[in-house]
Amino acid sequence: MGIAEMNSRKAVLAAVKEFNELGRDRFLEKYGFWHAKSYFLEVDGVFYASKAILGVAYGYEFSKPPLRSEDFNGGEPVKHKLEQLGFRVVVRRTAA
Protein backbone atom coordinates (compact mmCIF):
# COMPACT_ATOMS: atom_id res chain seq x y z
CA MET A 1 0.00 0.00 0.00
CA GLY A 2 1.26 3.48 -0.77
CA ILE A 3 0.17 7.02 -1.58
CA ALA A 4 -1.85 5.88 -4.61
CA GLU A 5 -4.44 4.33 -2.27
CA MET A 6 -4.87 7.47 -0.18
CA ASN A 7 -8.19 9.33 -0.41
CA SER A 8 -8.62 11.20 2.89
CA ARG A 9 -8.46 14.99 3.03
CA LYS A 10 -9.02 14.66 6.79
CA ALA A 11 -5.79 12.69 7.16
CA VAL A 12 -3.84 15.42 5.35
CA LEU A 13 -5.39 18.08 7.54
CA ALA A 14 -4.54 16.03 10.64
CA ALA A 15 -0.90 15.94 9.52
CA VAL A 16 -0.99 19.71 8.92
CA LYS A 17 -2.39 20.20 12.41
CA GLU A 18 0.40 18.13 13.93
CA PHE A 19 2.97 20.06 11.87
CA ASN A 20 1.59 23.30 13.29
CA GLU A 21 1.58 21.98 16.85
CA LEU A 22 5.14 20.63 16.75
CA GLY A 23 6.66 23.24 14.46
CA ARG A 24 8.42 22.50 11.19
CA ASP A 25 11.77 21.34 12.52
CA ARG A 26 10.40 19.03 15.23
CA PHE A 27 7.82 17.56 12.82
CA LEU A 28 10.42 16.84 10.14
CA GLU A 29 12.86 15.41 12.67
CA LYS A 30 10.20 13.23 14.30
CA TYR A 31 9.31 11.60 10.98
CA GLY A 32 12.74 11.61 9.32
CA PHE A 33 12.06 14.05 6.49
CA TRP A 34 14.21 16.89 5.15
CA HIS A 35 13.08 20.42 4.46
CA ALA A 36 11.15 20.73 1.20
CA LYS A 37 13.15 22.05 -1.73
CA SER A 38 10.61 22.56 -4.49
CA TYR A 39 7.12 21.22 -3.69
CA PHE A 40 5.05 22.90 -1.00
CA LEU A 41 1.52 22.17 0.14
CA GLU A 42 -0.34 25.45 0.69
CA VAL A 43 -3.09 25.51 3.30
CA ASP A 44 -4.60 28.83 4.38
CA GLY A 45 -1.61 30.76 3.03
CA VAL A 46 0.94 28.66 4.92
CA PHE A 47 3.44 26.46 3.07
CA TYR A 48 4.29 22.93 4.23
CA ALA A 49 6.76 20.24 3.17
CA SER A 50 4.43 18.31 0.88
CA LYS A 51 6.18 14.94 1.01
CA ALA A 52 6.43 14.97 4.80
CA ILE A 53 2.77 15.91 5.19
CA LEU A 54 1.63 13.17 2.83
CA GLY A 55 3.83 10.54 4.51
CA VAL A 56 2.41 11.38 7.92
CA ALA A 57 -1.14 11.61 6.53
CA TYR A 58 -0.74 8.03 5.32
CA GLY A 59 -0.34 6.93 8.93
CA TYR A 60 -3.43 8.86 9.97
CA GLU A 61 -5.54 7.49 7.13
CA PHE A 62 -4.65 3.82 7.51
CA SER A 63 -3.87 3.70 11.26
CA LYS A 64 -0.40 2.44 10.40
CA PRO A 65 3.06 3.86 10.89
CA PRO A 66 3.60 6.87 8.63
CA LEU A 67 5.53 6.41 5.43
CA ARG A 68 9.19 7.32 5.66
CA SER A 69 10.94 9.49 3.11
CA GLU A 70 12.57 6.46 1.47
CA ASP A 71 9.22 4.65 1.17
CA PHE A 72 7.92 6.77 -1.71
CA ASN A 73 8.91 9.34 -4.31
CA GLY A 74 8.27 13.00 -3.73
CA GLY A 75 7.83 15.70 -6.33
CA GLU A 76 5.21 15.15 -9.01
CA PRO A 77 3.63 11.98 -7.49
CA VAL A 78 3.03 13.82 -4.20
CA LYS A 79 1.79 16.92 -6.01
CA HIS A 80 -0.61 14.83 -8.08
CA LYS A 81 -2.03 13.00 -5.05
CA LEU A 82 -2.51 16.17 -3.00
CA GLU A 83 -4.21 17.87 -5.94
CA GLN A 84 -6.50 14.83 -6.34
CA LEU A 85 -7.49 15.40 -2.72
CA GLY A 86 -8.35 19.03 -3.49
CA PHE A 87 -5.22 20.74 -2.16
CA ARG A 88 -2.96 23.30 -3.79
CA VAL A 89 0.71 22.49 -4.27
CA VAL A 90 3.15 25.24 -5.22
CA VAL A 91 6.33 24.40 -7.10
CA ARG A 92 9.28 26.67 -6.44
CA ARG A 93 12.36 25.56 -8.28
CA THR A 94 15.66 27.04 -7.23
CA ALA A 95 18.32 27.91 -9.77
CA ALA A 96 21.23 25.47 -9.95
The pTM assigned to this predicted structure is 0.94
pLDDT, one tens digit per residue, over 51-94 is: 999 999 999 999 999 999 999 999 999 999 999 999 999 999 76
CA distance 54 to 16: 9
Report whether pLDDT(36) > 60: yes
Note the Cα 74 to chain centre separation in Å. Answer: 9
Q: Averaged over 30-37, what is the pLDDT?
A: 95
pLDDT value at residue 93: 77
Average pLDDT of the chain, as a whole number: 95
Q: What percent of the chain has pLDDT over 90?
A: 93
